[in-house]
Structures are given as C-alpha cells and as structure tokens.
Amino acid sequence: MPDCLFCRIVAREIPAQYVCEDEDFVAFRDISPKAPTHVLIVPRKHIPKLSQASEEDVTLLGRMQRLAARIAAEAGLESWRLVLNNGRGAGQSVFHLHYHLLGGRPLLWPPG
Ligand code: 5GP
Ligand code: ZN
C-alpha cells in the first residue's frame, strides 16, 4: 500500500467520522469543513488523481457520483456541489482521488 493518508483512513488505521462505506468506497467528514455538510468520497482503490484514472475506472467514477447524490439526499440537501481538485495548483493536497460533497449553505460561483 502506498504511504497515503486516505488509504490509511480507508483501512481504518486513522480514525475519521465515517458517513458510509461499501465494497468500493468510503465516505467520511472533512477534518476542516468548508460548509455545514462537507463529506469526502474516496474510492478504496488508490488513484492519485483524476488525470491518472484509466478507462477501466470509468464505472467506478460514475458510481462515485451516484453515491454523492445519495449521500446528499440522505443529508436532506436539495442543492449541493461536488468538487474534485486535480493537481496542486487546483488545491489538491491529498494525492488519492476524492470528491468533496459540499452543501448546507449558499455556494458562490465561480469558486476561488
Ligand atoms: P484536497 O485539498 O486534496 O482536494 O482535499 C483534501 C481534504 O482532506 C482537505 O479538505 C482536508 O481538510 C482533508 N483532510 C486532510 N487531512 C485529513 C484527515 O486526517 N482527516 C480528514 N477527515 N480529512 C482530512
Ligand atoms: Zn491512497
């Protein structure tokens, strides 16, 4: 296993506030929330960033979005945002692909 923070959270070696999990994904609350709901959706598979995902990951990525919609619905959110930072210049700080699900406050556009 690569020395990766999210791999360690997925493996439950580091605690987190887990929201849900299945055979392919783990979702947990961001340690530094930027909105009342700020959930990270993380595939168990270690893919460093979206630009390194391959054709074989297409189904996984689609299912990740469906899971985000389900978590948003379960949180009672009608409007929400799904963010994926790809690369340091875009704000990526953990190099294990993940979505941020943000909601519970008005979300401005464009993001900073
Ligand atoms: P990125 O900046 O890579 O798009 O997102 C990484 C996110 O992981 C950040 O929003 C950051 O607050 C969150 N994060 C960093 N370390 C931890 C941690 O140990 N636990 C949890 N739950 N979130 C973390
Ligand atoms: Zn990882």
Inter-residue contact 83 to 100 (CB < 8 Å) = yes
Superfamily of domain 5-103: HIT-like (3.30.428.10)
Encode pLDDT of 39-66 as tens digits: 999 999 999 999 999 999 999 999 999 9
How many residues would you count in the chain? Answer: 112
98 is annotated as an active-site residue: yes
Check if 28 has its Cβ closer than 6 Å to any atom of ligand 1.
yes
Q: Which atom of ligand 1 is found nearest the CA of 32?
A: 12
pLDDT band for position 1 (50/70/90)? Answer: low
Check if 32 has its Cβ closer than 6 Å to any atom of ligand 1.
yes
Encode pLDDT of 88-99 as tens digits: 999 999 999 999
Encode pLDDT of 17-43 as tens digits: 999 999 999 999 999 999 999 999 999
Q: Where are the domains of the chain?
A: 5-103
User: Model's pTM, two decimal places?
Assistant: 0.98
Alpha carbon of 78 to ligand 1 centroid (Å): 24
CA 109 to CA 93: how far, in whole Å?
22
Give the model's pLDDT for residue 22: 96
CA 7 to CA 51: how far, in whole Å?
19
